Structure 1
C-alpha cells in the first residue's frame, strides 16, 4: 500500500493555505464528430454561478485575513491532423477542464482532468458500489478484453478525503493518441465531498512521484512511437481550446517560445529569482524558490508571506474593477535567472462586491513554491517538453484555427 505524494496536496480548501484543485464549475460529455478530431464539449453546471460566487467570497475572506482588515475586499473601491501530432479540443471555463479518455477494449469513455501536478492515472470503477461512485462514469474491467489485474493496492490521502483501490493495466487512448497498455488505478472506495464533483478520473502528466516506475503516466507518453516530438501543449483561446500531443501548429502562437529549464524532475518546475508587483519586489523569492506550472490548480498560489506582501501592493494601487478591466491593473511578474520574466495582468476575479485577486496561499516545509494555475494558462500557450526537460511559454493567437 502506498500514498501518492502529489495528490496529497491536491484537492484542499482554499483558506487552509494549501494546494487547491477544483473541478466544481463544469460538467461535460464528449462525442466523436466527423473528421479527424475528438471533441470534449462541456456544459455549465446549473449552479455554476453560485459556485463561482462562493469561491469569490472565500478568496475575499482570505485576503482580508492577509491584510489584517475587516473593511471592504481588495480592489472593490466604489489534437490536430498533422503527422506525429494528436489533439483533444477543450473549452476554457476559467477553472478546470476535462476531456474524454477511452480505456479498455472496446474503449469505455471517462471524463478526466489532464493534470500536470500529479503523475498517475486513476479512474472511477464499478468495483466501487457507493452512491458517490455511481454518480460517475465507471470503468467496468469485466467488459475489457485487454484488462490485466494486479495484487497491488493504492491508498491516496486528500485534504478533503481519501480513496482506496487496486492497480491494473489496460489500453488507454485519447484524441486519436493510443498509449497502449498502461498502469492505472481503479477506485474501490472513496471518502470525502471532492468525489461528488463532475470528473471520472485524473490523467497525471507530471514527472515520477511514486517509488515504482510503472506508476508514471507521463513515461507512457514519452515512450510512445506515435510522437516524433515528445511534448504536449495547452492552448486556451476565446472560442476553442486544446491539449496537443506532439509538435503543435505554429498558428496558435503570436510570439517566440521562451524556454524554462526544469530544475527538478518531480513537478514541472523551474527556479525563481524574484516576484514583483508593478516593479516592487515581494522579497520572498529566496534561493530555493521555484515556480510550478500546474494545470490542475485553478488559482495562483504563493507562500503566505509573499501573498501578504503581494496583496498589500495590489491594494496600494487603489484601483476599482472598471480600471482593472480597462487594462490599468498592476502586473504581477515572475523573474528568472536566465529566461524572460513572466508577467500577468489578468490575475483577478470579479464578483458581486468587487474584484479580488485569484490568489491563495501555499506553505510547504523548507520550500518556497509559487504555483502558476489557470490564470496563467489562460494567458499563455504552454508546452511541456518531455524530451528536453523544459517548459515553453509564448503568447497565444486569440482565435487560432485549430482545424488548420
Structure 2
C-alpha cells in the first residue's frame, strides 16, 4: 500500500505460449508481530492485558500505526534470473511492486543478510535499469534500485519483468520476517514508480487462459499445507456453493463496498456502508479505531501489547457470530474463525483476529479483510471483470 516515483520504459516482452491454471503452494509461518512478541511469557501478556484494560477505562486505546507486513503469515516461492535464483515472497494483494533483497545491500542491513539476495551477475537474462526507488514502511523506508529479469512462478516464465533490488530495509520488521520479499498483486495505480506489476505483465503477454487469480488459505494449525495461489482461474474443489461477486469500487487496492458488519444481535458497525480492501498481506481484519474498539468490547477482548487483544479461550464457543454484509449476502465468522490460538511455552493463549488502524483520506477510511476472513472464504480476484468473488472454503481440497 505504498507509492514510489519515476516512470520507466519497459523493454518489449517476449510472449510465451498460454498455459492452464498455475498452482503455487503457500507456506504458513509466524507473523512478524507474533515473532517480536514471543519473548514475553503468558503471565507477562496477561498482566499487560489487565493493565491495559484498567487504563482503558479512563483513556482511549492508542492507535498503532501498522507497518504493511507485520501480520503477514503466508508465503510462496518464485525465482528470478537465468539460471533461477529462488526467493520466498509474500503474495500481497495490498501492494503492486515486486522487490527482493539485493546482493549490493549494506553490510549493516541485518534483514538483508538474513535472507536470500538477488545477484544480477549470475543471471544471463538480467537487464540493467538502475533507477532508484523508495517505499515507506511505518517510520522507515525500504530503498534500492530497479532491475529487469525473468521472473518464474511455478514454471510460468514472465520475461522482462522490472522489480526492485532492496539495499536498505528498515527496522526489525523485515529482519524477523520469514519471507525474503514481496510480490504485489494490486492494480498499477499504486505501483511505486509506475513499474508494471507482475500480474499485469502476465496479462499483457497473454500467458493465462483467464486473467484471474485465487487464494485458498488453510488456517488449520495442525496442517502442513498453508494454502495455494492459483493463477488463471479458480478451483471449485477448494470451496462449496457458488462464488458471490462484488465489483471493484476503486482500481488501486482490491477495494469493494461493504454494507454493514453485525456483531451478534447487539452491535452494528459500518452502519451506512463503508469501503473494504481484500488484502492477503494482512493476517487480521482491520477497521477504524472507534469501531474496532466497540467490537473488541462486545466480544470481551482485553487490549494487549503491540495492538493485540486477548480473549479467554474458554469463551470461544459462546462468542457472537460476526457477519459481514457484502452485496446483500452475509458472510459469517464464528469465534473459532476469528480467534487465533497461539502456543507459548506449553500454554495456549487466544487472540482476537481484529485490529484497529485509521487510514486517512483520500485512501481511507477503510476496513481490511485479511487472512482471518480469506481463510474462511475462498477468494477470487478477477481482472477481466474487475471483481472479487467469495465462497465458503473447504477444510481441505476434494480430490
Q: TM-score, normalised by structure 1?
A: 0.75
* TM-fit CA distance, 1:210: 3.4
RMSD over aligned CA atoms reads: 3.3
Q: Which residue of 1 aligns with 2:338?
A: 347
Other structure's SS at 1:310 match:
helix
Q: CA 1:52–1:282 in 2, change beyond 3 Å: closer, same or farther?
A: farther
Q: Which residue of 2 aligns with 1:331?
A: 321
Residue 161 and residue 245 in structure 1: after superposition, are their counterparts in 2 closer, same or farther (change >3 A)?
same
Q: Distance in 1 between matches of 2:251 and 2:240?
A: 29
Measure, in 2, the Cα distance between the counterparts of 1:224 and 1:280: 51
User: How far does residue 67 in structure 1 lie from its aligned partner after superposition?
Assistant: 8.8
Tell me the distance in 2 between the aligned counterparts of 1:98 and 1:63. Answer: 35
Q: 2:368 matched to which residue of 1?
A: 371
Report what 1:231 is aligned to.
Answer: 212
* Aligned counterparts of 2:76 and 2:315: Cα–Cα separation in 1: 36
1:130 match = 107
Unaligned runs of 5+ in 1: 7-35, 71-93
Where 1:191 maps in the other structure, the secondary structure is: coil
Task: Say if 2:264 is the partner of 1:278.
Answer: yes
Provide the secondary structure at the position in 1 that maps to 2:300.
helix
Give the distance between the partners of 1:49 and 1:161, measured in 2 at CA. Answer: 19
Distance of aligned partners of 1:118 and 1:285 in 2 relative to their CA distance in 1, 3 Å threshold: farther
Contact 1:274 1:281 in 2 (8 A): no
Misfit runs of 4+, over 6 Å: 42-45, 47-50
Task: Provide the secondary structure at the position in 1 that maps to 2:208.
Answer: coil
Aligned residues: 341
Gaps of 5+ in 2: 5-21, 59-70, 302-310
TM-score, normalization: structure 2?
A: 0.76
Q: Distance in 2 between matches of 1:180 and 1:207?
A: 19
Residue deviations 1:195-248, cap 9 Å, x none? 212221100011120375434333123324221111111112444321111123
> How far, CA to CA, are the matches of 1:109 and 1:307 in structure 2?
39
SS at match of 2:296: helix
**Take 2:163 and 2:229, find their aligned partners in 1: how far apart are those partners?**
21
User: How far, CA to CA, are the matches of 1:284 and 1:139 in structure 2?
Assistant: 44
